[in-house]
Amino acid sequence: MKEFRVRFAPSPTGPIHIGNIRTALFNYLFSRSEGATFVLRIEDTDLERSSKEFEELIFKELKWLGIEWDEGPDKPGPYGPYRQSERLEIYHRFAQKLIEEKKAYRCYCTPEELEEDRKKAIERGEIPRYSGRCRYLTKEQEETFIREGRKPVIRFMVPDDEVIEFEDMIKGKITIKSDTLGGDMVIIKSDGMPTYNFAVVIDDALMKITHVIRGEDHIYNTPKQILIYKALGFEIPKFAHAPLILGPDRTKLSKRHGHTYIGQYRELGYLPEAMFNFLSLLSWYPKDNVELMSKEEIIRKFNFKRIHKSNPVFDIEKLNWMNQQYIQKSPVERIVDLAIPHLKKAGYIDEIDELRYNWLKDVISLYKDGLSYVAQIVDMAKTFFVEEVDYTGEMIEFLKSPNSIKVLEAFKGYLKDKSEITEDDVREWMKKAQKELGVKGKEFFMPIRIAVTGEKHGPELVKVLALLGKNRVVKRLDRVLNLIE
């Protein structure tokens, strides 16, 4: 039985887009569910925009999400090297082979000549395509162009009137005419770098890739690549083009819809297992319709045939709900460790000793189950880290009522002789004070909560008071009583 091999081939020219990560995930799930080899290849032939920093970021994001590869730049295999910039001699060798077989040629057209041809085609009402003016140059014509200092590209001869068909694993049969492909295509640029459509064919063929799984924005690259496969006598792999992810307005996911890079979600404190779960359900669904699944469950249930043709919507509310479920199941220590960088960035904490860590753990425990992502802790737990809290005009008016003043003064009097606040003591006092003051329920608890936290709602009040500590609570009571006087 033939070994299945898939690959993810990102360009290190920027942060990884959500769509690209979903492509990596589908390749990974296919490899693990089918027992295939998963190859990571770096397409870094865009020398101006590619960087080592972005390559490292690719590794970081994939590892964070839990996507492991079997072969790649850091995991040598039998078909390396796994960076395109280290494979240039290979591309030139195959380009020369095509030239010798009269399937490709050097083209010396200037950008101005190509633009003139494009305009004329539009004026005639035709789809712009390369005219083929350099297809059959004589030796003398080539020598003239060389003397003029023209640097040639190498073009692949696209046959006329040919129908290219392939069976897409998701879309079904796709048929495209060669006349719509823009004419003879450039395979080696004037700077000696291969174009995407040429390099990807050479790499996939030599790396024995059996299934090419990518986004549907590559559909019109596929017939061009099939022509090159045939011209070089390579075996054509199976293709699968996953539907593009849309924003809530059903247009292609972009920055106007919010965060579009996977790293932005990592930095906000989304959990990798939640993101893995969420992304796997963009176009795919298991038979049992269960939504919350571990990585192992997803791999076990994954079947490529269950990927839908329709475009999935990136629903941030669903992601937030899903991430909240995973946060709730996580140990509080994990959430504390993820929260610390956000609290430091906000200037709320600096160095942490064991005592401070344990206090922080208690604070975050109050909010943990309500977090959609960890960065929210900065706003949700703000009252524990600022010296003074703010009050709205509506709050001040509420606190000016006779009952509110009575409760606040009684609470301040109770604290006067206390060395510290404990939950049990405060709880006991509150029971007695409601009877003695004749103020109960919301009229009793709300003034204390607003005065001490600047908020109308929040975690259990006695826990909040105990964690804030006596000194801070008394200061806030003094301040608010002065304000309402």
Residues contributing to the annotated binding site for ATP: 255
DSSP, res 3: P
- In the residue annotation, 63 being an active-site residue is answered as no
Of residues 71, 302, 50, the one with CA closest to residue 206:
71
Strands 238-242 and 211-215, sheet pairing: parallel
Q: How far is CA 374 from the centre of its chain?
A: 16
292 touches 325 (CB < 8 A):
yes
- Kindly state the tokens that stand for 452: 């001490």
Of residues 97, 82, 108, the one with CA closest to residue 186:
108
CA distance 205 to 461: 65
**How big, in percent rounded to 5, are the helix, strand and coil portions of the chain?**
55, 10, 35
Binding-site annotation, residues? 255
CA distance 125 to 342: 58
- Catalytic residue among 52, 102, 139, 255, which? 255
Q: How many CB atoms lie within 10 A of CB 106?
A: 18
Please tell me the number of Cα atoms within 13 Å of 34 on its side-chain side.
20
- Kindly state the tokens that stand for 409: 């003064």
Of residues 149, 161, 157, the one with CA closest to residue 98:
157
Angle at 274 between CA 271 and CA 280, to 5 degrees: 140
Four-point Cα dihedral 84, 90, 91, 95, nearest 10: 180
Which residues pair with residue 6 across a beta bridge? 38
Q: Catalytic positions, please?
A: 255
